[in-house]
Amino acid sequence: MAKPVSIEVWNPNGKYRVVSTKSMPGTRWINLLIEQDCRLEICTEKKTILSVEDIIALIGDKCDGVIGQLTEDWGETLFAALSKAGGKAFSNMAVGYNNVDVNAANKYGVAVGNTPGVLTETTAELAASLSLAAARRIVEADGFMRAGLYDGWLPHLFVGNLLKGQTVGVIGAGRIGSAYARMMVEGFKMNLIYFDLYQSTRLEKFVTAYGQFLKANGEQPVTWKRASSMSEVLQEADVISLHPVLDKTTYHLINKESLATMKKEAILINCSRGPVVDEVALVEHLKQNPMFRVGLDVFEDEPYMKPGLGEMKNAIVVPHIASASKWTREGMATLAALNVLGKIKGYPVWHDPNRVDPFLNENAPPPAASPSIVNAKALGLPVSKL
């Protein structure tokens, strides 16, 4: 028998029982559920990551839907338990769902939600922040100052890289990669080289137009180039930001061989998926190339780092906070709640999961739809015509 798990209950007499495995930012998501006759139970266990057994205890004998986190193992065992309890909906509070066995969800008829469309600018901003922090050695300098080591200005103290006129490389020019590229091009007047399987016409037009603006004002115009391969980006760029999907073609995209092709003073940023980078190879490269710098928000074996990474002064490491702006995290909570609510209520699936502004408008009721269900087609769910 599963050990009881501590919870906080909202609207105890609600008709539908919804469980959230974590407290989430904001209160709108809570209000949207209880206004639709849901009894909401929020796990209050002081554990960062809940076990499968913990979540089974939360699901119990009757549960209509669960809001979960990307740190949880949603596979056959949990979907079987949720289905047995009468549940038909699960949503990650995340755009990614590598932690979810979608085939198992399909087997038990459980809709799987995620939260795209709300993380683009926030994630791009963190990638840009890491780029600047690495280029100007801000974290190193901050630690130096706090340690009381500063005793006066010196010509060589924490000399870093100027971004203006350098080349920013983007691997994966989707929504986040393109947003990052625009920030770096317009903010720091960097030239762009990018690789994507699909041409990013809007991004190219943006850089072209900005280049024309600079030229008209007597400045050096920025340029863009679409690379024919990922290796071309790695070889030519001064700052490289990774924004690919994680699959067999991008697993360990950054490895000993590819690192060796990069510039000795290049800056590498990863806010995408941890396994895109071979961390063991990266640590060795950082040791051998002290002016090579890296900014990481994700890790190969998260939440752990490979040995030695945390000791490298030329590495900036942050704990998966790319989406951690107040607006974005509250929006993610809202979308996850509405994914579950929509399935419980029998609503259709929203026609475009990347256009979610109507769900985030706090001055109007959200559309009667689930914002994003990744297995909607497999389950034969109707799509909203709104």
Closest Cα to residue 15, out of 46, 33, 38? 38
| Active-site residue (options: 121, 140, 284, 302) | 302
* DSSP letters for 94-148: SS--TTB-HHHHHHTT-EEE--TTSSHHHHHHHHHHHHHHHHTTHHHHHHHHHTT
DSSP for 17-51 reads EEEESS--SSSHHHHHHHTTTEEEEEE--S-SS--
Q: Which of 273, 285, 293, 329 is catalytic?
A: 273
Q: Could you give the CA distance from residue 318 to residue 125 in angstroms, rounded to a whole number?
A: 14
CA–CA gap between residue 240 and residue 308 (Å, rounded): 22
DSSP-assigned states of every residue in 201-213? HHHHHHHHHHHHH
Q: Would you call 273 a catalytic residue per the annotation?
A: yes
Residue 109 carries which side chain, given as an amino acid letter?
Answer: G
Per-position b or e across 284-294, b if 16+ CB within 10 A of its CB: ebbeebeebbb
From the candidates 28, 136, 252, 320, give the one annotated as an active-site residue.
320
Q: What are the angstrom distances between the C-alpha of 329 and each of 124, 146, 162, 320, 360?
A: 15, 31, 33, 13, 12
Q: Is residue 156 flagged as an active site residue?
A: no
Catalytic (active site) residue 320: yes
Alpha helices in 189-315 (DSSP H): 201-216, 230-236, 256-261, 279-288
Active site residues: 273, 302, 320
